[in-house]
Structure 1
Amino acid sequence: MTEPEKRIALLIDADNAPASKIDVILAEVARYGVANVRRAYGNWKSPHLKQWEAVLHEYAIRPIQQFAYSTGKNASDMAMVIDAMDLLYARNLDGFAIVTSDADFTPLVMRLLTDGEKVYGFGEKKTPSPFVNACSKFTYLEALGAPPDNGKVEASAPKKAAQDLRGDARLVQMLRSAVDSGSGDDGWTRLDVVGSQIGNQASFDPRNYGYRKLSDLVKASDLFEVKQEGKTIWVRDKPRKRVAAKKTAV
């Protein structure tokens, strides 16, 4: 029996998201399920949202009008949170895709996660880290290229060199912890296990580092031994003492 498609609610903070990226956002959401709820929030009388108006009908996105009731307050944020909670309590969804670069939605993400919902975040590089780290998976919009004919969104962010990857303490710790947690006595771990472990402990997308797949990122880091048996990829932490000795000899 074919497993039913996951149902995703796509909620867009139009004030804090570029309309030019909607096609790649939808292509990315389609990897996790079908976006049967599509809503964009903002004051649609504002000229700032003209670009969003142009794509609403084309992508079947429902505009939710929110007037600015007072200066300095964002009524759109409140409306989006209220709708998210209504959708959560309706119990007919499998996850949420939230498009914003605003950290004010971090408590909402944490609340959705508490109820066991997956939350896929999308935002620009300026998105504060609390929101990025709170999501089940967060993808920078700058890291998403145009979707090719096969519908898969490629990485468009510049690839980080091995030295830069090894200099990212958080990334190195996350990778090594994931490899170590799933390893056997010989130290080898299946790459799919590593990916699952990382997904359970942090928001992570290899495309944010310029690599389309986790395997490409792992190989580029030069921190791990990699071997392939059939369709299965195995990874193991390189013996650090041996690596250090080789460098000294050079």
Structure 2
Amino acid sequence: MATNKPQTSRQQKHLAVLIDADNAPAAIVEGLFEEIAKYGIASVKRIYGDWTQPNLGGWKKVLLDHSIQPMQQFAYTKGKNATDSSLIIDAMDLLYTRRFDGFCLVSSDSDFTRLAVRLREEGLTVYGFGEQKTPKPFVSACDKFIYTEILRADAVEPAPEPATAPVNGASQEAKPATAPVKAQKVPVDFIAKVLDDIADDEDDWVQLGAVGSNISKLSPAFDPRLYGFKKLSELIKAQPKRFELEARGSNTTGGKDLYVRNRKPGK
């Protein structure tokens, strides 16, 4: 007899969102929770910092709108950040409740590297969110790492916009902090190697979903948006000299499954 138990899809994962307010700008808040919604339900939303200090004023304005619980942490010693320890202790407490499928760690601070590793050792999925300055060890310790510049911009520019002339003699405003980041060069050689490594049939076709999964395992920070594309399929399609993309059959949702392979020499 069939049961009505929900499928364990990524949308059904229960996630704990822990934000280091000292190392994450409030400007990302909209994009942050839109992104998290792709991976699951933000069952817990906490943000850590010393709320008596004026530098967190930006976060104070958005906490109620997004139901984020502020966690007060005073600095015990001048020049030392006690927020990290508070966040880590709470993360371990939440881990041992066994109520969560994954954690979202929002910070550019490498001090959370060991925490990410520990959470993954328990079989939980770790999504990291931080600026492009985030040290590589923290990025690599996560299952998936999303650069927050993408979230602030909502898109990546293929090239910088030309400067506009002042209007009515007014001075030109400085470029806002939320401006889109410039698209990076597509790592076609890296993608091609992944395809070579996982292709197991005689014609070398690989399901696109499997390609994306293996890319994420090897490079947690890989994101098509960094290269100016919304989806991996769009990125692949834009490289016709290196890859072939083909739609086949119909999947469980009524659409077609996409397959990709390295383009053969001479074709």
The reply to whether TM is greater than 0.5 is: yes
Match of 1:11 among 11, 14, 18: 18
Q: What does 1:76-115 correspond to in 2, within 5 Å?
A: 76-115=83-122
Residue 27 in structure 1 maps to residue 15 in structure 2: no
Q: Structure 1 or 2: larger helix share?
A: 1
What displacement does 1:242 show?
Answer: 3.8
Contact 1:94 1:118 in 2 (8 A): yes
Residue 164 in structure 1 maps to residue 163 in structure 2: no
SS in 2 for 1:233: strand
Structure 2 CA distance, aligned partners of 1:229 and 1:64?
Answer: 50
Residue 227 in structure 1 maps to residue 210 in structure 2: no
Other-structure match for 1:247: none
Q: What does 1:181-196 correspond to in 2, within 5 Å?
A: 181-196=198-213
What displacement does 1:96 show?
Answer: 0.4
SS in 1 for 2:43: strand
In the alignment, structure 1 segments of 5+ residues that lack a partner are 147-154, 244-250
Structure 1 CA distance, aligned partners of 2:35 and 2:196?
Answer: 26
Contact 1:13 1:77 in 2 (8 A): yes
Write the letter of the residue equivalent to 2:150. A
Question: Deviation digits for residues 188-228 of structure 1, max 9, x if unmatched?
Answer: 11111111222333303222222111111222344211122
Other-structure match for 2:197: 180
Give the TM-score, by structure 2 length.
Answer: 0.79
Contact 2:14 2:100 in 1 (8 A): yes
Residue 65 in structure 1 maps to residue 69 in structure 2: no
Structure 2 CA distance, aligned partners of 1:159 and 1:137?
Answer: 24
Other-structure match for 2:231: 213
Q: What does 1:118-157 correspond to in 2, within 5 Å?
A: 118-144=125-151, 155-157=154-156
Distance 1:175 1:29, change over 3 A: farther
Structure 1 CA distance, aligned partners of 2:204 and 2:18?
Answer: 42
SS in 2 for 1:208: helix
Question: Deviation digits for residues 123-167 of structure 1, max 9, x if unmatched?
Answer: 112212221222111111111267xxxxxxxx51224899922xx
Larger Rg: 2
What displacement does 1:95 show?
Answer: 0.4
In the alignment, structure 2 segments of 5+ residues that lack a partner are 160-181, 250-255
Write the letter of the residue equivalent to 2:147. Y
What displacement does 1:173 show?
Answer: 2.4
Contact 2:192 2:262 in 1 (8 A): no
What displacement does 1:120 show?
Answer: 0.8
Structure 2 CA distance, aligned partners of 1:163 and 1:98?
Answer: 25
What CA RMSD, in Å, does the superposition of the two structures yield over aligned residues? 2.3
Distance 1:162 1:175, change over 3 A: farther
Question: Deviation digits for residues 54-76 of structure 1, max 9, x if unmatched?
Answer: 11111111111111111232100
Contact 1:6 1:32 in 2 (8 A): yes
Distance 1:163 1:22, change over 3 A: closer
Contact 1:179 1:189 in 2 (8 A): no
